Structure 1
Amino acid sequence: MPRLDRDPDSPQGPLVQGFAAGGFSVDGSVYPAVLLTPEWAQAWRAPAVADLAESDLAPVLALNPAPEFILLGTGPTIRFPARALIRSLEARGVGVEVMDSRAAARTWGLLRAEERWIAAALMPLA
């Protein structure tokens, strides 16, 4: 699925409108796993949480300026990535908020309504 760029009339950027067909409904498209920035939504080949590396988050880390933090949705339950990954991201000035993917999708909408410069990485719901 190609990248979905932000509607220039929407200051919030792409929004998760719900959950459909086992994925995230974002502005009319459904993604099994998705990366979100204030500017675009993109399908994501999410690794297992234990295997998550900084390179898997490279598209959102390339934002300029860097996001305040990344909402990391770890699927149907909360699972924490390697501590080394969190330390590496924090050393770059990017925080990580870990929660289940449904909670992360809801939090994305709330924080983007405040126009916070954040990113999200949402792993599959199943």
Structure 2
Amino acid sequence: MKLQNTRAEHLNTFTAYGDGYVSVNGIRHACNLAVLPDRLLPQWTQASFETLSVADFELLAGLDADIVLLGTGKRLRFPRPELLQPLVRVQRGLEVMDLAAACRTYNVLVGEGRRVAAGLLIA
């Protein structure tokens, strides 16, 4: 699905998503990645949802973001509570949603000038 929005200049936004991919600024990505308004972290994790680890969430907790979105693929799934401890320690908000909702929500928050990061599980 293509997303139409008024793209903030020089900021990363999602321009499309579909089965097995997202597009950021018109560039297609088919691997897990983390997206911030000012940078991309391709291959944020090699994990599947089932194999996410505390280390994956430590990386997200270390990003300069007030809120972290976790896109869990085609369907909404909640990570085990113990995985969230790095985010709790640094008092970062976490919103868990499916991949499509994470892309749309990220774009809205970037458009509002919020400091947001999205960790996306593509596969």
Contact residue 34 and residue 41 of structure 1 kept, 8 A = yes
Number of residues paired by the alignment? 114
Shift of 1:22: 2.7
Provide the residue aligned with 2:103 in structure 1. Answer: 105
Q: 2:33 is matched with which residue?
A: 34
Cα distance in 2, alignment partners of residues 15 and 75 from structure 1:
18
**CA 1:28/1:36 → structure 2, altered by over 3 Å: closer, same or farther?**
same
- Residue pairs, 1:82-97, within 5 angstroms: 82-97=80-95
> Deviations along 1:31-87, whole A, 9 cap, x unmatched?
122211121123224412232224224554333xx3112100000001111101223
How far residue 96 of structure 1 moved from its aligned partner, in angstroms, is: 1.0
Identity %: 30
SS in 1 for 2:75: coil
Provide structure 2 residue ranges, at least 5 long, that are not aligned to the other structure. 1-7
State how far apart, in whole Å, the 2-side matches of 1:74 and 1:46 are.
Answer: 13
Counterparts of 2:112 and 2:81, CA distance in 1:
29
**Residues 67 and 94 in structure 1, CA contact (< 8 A), matched pair in contact too:** yes
Q: 1:119 to 1:24 in 2, by over 3 A?
A: same
1:80 aligns with 2:78: yes
Gaps of 5+ in 1: 1-8
Answer yes or no: is the 8 Å Cα contact 2:87–2:93 preserved in 1: yes
Aligned in 2, Cα 1:54/1:38: closer, same or farther, shift over 3 Å?
farther
TM-score, normalised with respect to structure 2: 0.79
Match of 1:10 in 2: 9
Root-mean-square deviation (Å): 2.1
Residue aligned with 1:79, SS: coil
